[in-house]
Amino acid sequence: MSITQTDLTRINTFIFDVDGVLTDGLLYCFADGEQVRAFNIKDGFAIKHAIRQGYRVAIISGKNEPGVRKRLEQLDIEDIYLGTEDKVTTFEDYIYLQGIHPATVAYMGDDMPDFEVMQRCGLRACPADAADDVQEICTFISTRKGGQGAVRELIEKIMKAQDTW
């Protein structure tokens, strides 16, 4: 599938997975049980910029780590859903409560837990290293891998199409 100008200009909400999208998917485990992920600063800048320009940004992730939540809060993200076992229900509840039309949502995921919810969005996006099945349904495949600026690329492309970058 290819992305159209209409796909870009109708977006007002970004929803992201964490592992494999905002991070490279690597998980560093220490002897004390702490698990650490690396986030890309450029993705963070784009997220904060989008929020300042009035876009909604939400996170829906299966993992629930305090360090991840702290990082997301530092980016001024208010709608954070961690430890989510059913992403579809979380997505549907979120858009209903916020009064968001699914066609105005860009969702970036990378693997099968994102597959069903991505099919309910106006713009389906993934990093360059997403699972093949996910790539097959996407209207936007980043040129960058997860955790290496894929989120920035998507946000920048949409905001430039809307003259808000």
Distance CA 143, CA 156 (A): 13
pLDDT (tens digit, 9 = 90+) per residue, 86-108? Answer: 999 999 999 999 999 999 999 99
pLDDT over 90, % of the chain: 86
Q: Identify the pLDDT of residue 1.
A: 57
In this prediction the pTM is 0.95
pLDDT tens per residue across span 125-155: 999 999 999 999 999 999 999 999 999 999 9
Beta-carbon contacts of residue 21 (< 8 Å; ≥ 6 apart): 108, 109, 110, 126, 127, 146, 147, 150, 151
The count of structural domains within the chain is 1
Q: What is the pLDDT of residue 4?
A: 72
What pLDDT sits at residue 10? 96
Q: Which pLDDT belongs to residue 79?
A: 98
CATH number at residue 89: 3.40.50.1000
As a whole number, the mean pLDDT across the chain is: 95
Domain residues for 22? 5-161
User: Quick one: which of 107, 99, 54 has its CA closest to 81?
Assistant: 107
pLDDT for res 2: 66
Residue 156 C-beta-side C-alpha neighbours within 13 Å: 12
